Structure 1
Amino acid sequence: MTADLTALDLEEAGAVLATESARFASFGWMRGTSGNLSVVLGRDPLRLAVTASGHDKGELTPADVVLVDGNGAAVHEGKPSAEAELHARVAALTGAGAVVHVHTVASVALGHRHPGGIVFKDIEMLKGVGQPAHDVEVTLPVIANSQDMKVLGDRLEAAREPRMPAVVVAGHGLYVWGDTPRQARHHTEVVEWLLELELTRR
């Protein structure tokens, strides 16, 4: 552990992420061992608790997290998600306190259909991401996938829409963030609802 963070801090973060993971897994959004979540534990230097690699996200325990640095590398021990670097990039770029990555059918399908971004307008549910329900268009960015997290992070930074706390990675899934794990959960559920609505319209 680091000077400012204790094993108890990491365990408490693990308990929160285990609960959130079980919720998303119950929706079918984290099938198999897919998906990953993180919560920021410190800013100077940046430290995040990230779900460990290779675990069923519906069965996580408080111990199934890894402390990582601002580059997504394990600080002490354990194997974090392969996408931990992108979680750290999102946290640094947006100031988010928590990041959610899920693999939903709607996000993958619409990412293919709308490579330039998915536009939402005049939908009451937009209030769930802090936007007016009417007379404003909000675009959910879509970026091309890459196995290189630096490349993916650069694409996310270039495409990010500050009014939308999410981005779709084409052929992959959805990244969403918020100030807290609870807000990130709410944002994820709202954005996924918007995507499902758009999918049914087509």
Structure 2
Amino acid sequence: MTERTTGPGTGLAEAGAVLAREAARFASFGWMRGTSGNLSVVTNRDPLRLAVTASGLDKGELTATDVVLVDAAGQAVSGGRPSAEAALHARVVRLTGAGAVVHVHTIASVAVAERCPEGIVFRDLEMLKGIGRPTHAGEVVLPVIGNSQDMAVLGDRLEAARDPDMPAVVVAGHGLYVWGADPRQARHHTEVVEWMLQLHLARR
């Protein structure tokens, strides 16, 4: 059976079902503890609309209705209350053309960022193929940016630091933002980047 995904033109209920499933997967890994983290998927490009997981809910227990539709500024168009970070999801989509964004709070991302505040370098890893990079073609840097409660400031930092070869960034002391063309690719990118971060920890 082919796994269904979402994209522009997707209904809010369908997008909510996909996000609930993806959130449950990440929560099962311990990457969305408590009510932390959020996921989004683009449902329309013009005007830009994103379905974002609702704020304050256990991400392992979401249903298809636990989603908010937001605009290009991350403001709610319909549904409940989105996370303040919805604005950063929208910024990532506008900046990268992504179709889905994942934000998880992993131990590895925070720990490695503390050790490598100037950026985390990966090289000579077969898993680099999972983010579309050749295994032995130089190095790839996962940017690390300082945290802020102001999403405009955080978005500016992300835009200034991001590496086009790396579909992810670490927010210091906070967690990992990853994106992809659709929820499936964003999930794969997240799992690959997290694997490399865990390897970095294990080597130290």
- Name the TM-score class by shorter chain: over 0.9
Structure 2 counterpart of 1:166: 168
List, as ranges, runs of 4+ consecutive aligned residues in structure 1 with deviation greater than 6 Å: none
Letter in 2 for 1:35: G
CA distance in 2, matches of 1:164, 1:196: 17
Structure 1 counterpart of 2:30: 28
Q: Give the TM-score normalised by the residue count of structure 2.
A: 0.95
CA contact (8 A) 2:91 2:155 kept: yes
The alpha-carbon deviation at position 35 of structure 1 amounts to 0.3
Q: CA offsets per residue over residues 109-167 of structure 1, 9 Å max, x none?
A: 01111111000000110000000111410000000000000000000000010000000
Structure 2 counterpart of 1:107: 109
Q: CA offsets per residue over residues 43-88 of structure 1, 9 Å max, x none?
A: 1111000000000000000000000000000012410112000000
CA distance in 1, matches of 2:44, 2:114: 36
CA distance in 2, matches of 1:61, 1:126: 33
Letter in 2 for 1:18: A
- SS of aligned partner of 2:133: coil
Letter in 2 for 1:64: D
Map 1:1-202 to 2 at 5 A: 9-202=11-204
Q: Give percent identity, aligned residues only.
A: 77
Letter in 2 for 1:29: W
CA distance in 1, matches of 2:83, 2:39: 9
Query: RMSD of aligned C-alpha atoms?
Result: 1.2
Structure 1, unpaired ranges of 5+: none
Letter in 2 for 1:146: S
Structure 2, unpaired ranges of 5+: 1-7
CA distance in 1, matches of 2:54, 2:28: 19
Q: How many residues align?
A: 197
CA contact (8 A) 2:102 2:190 kept: yes
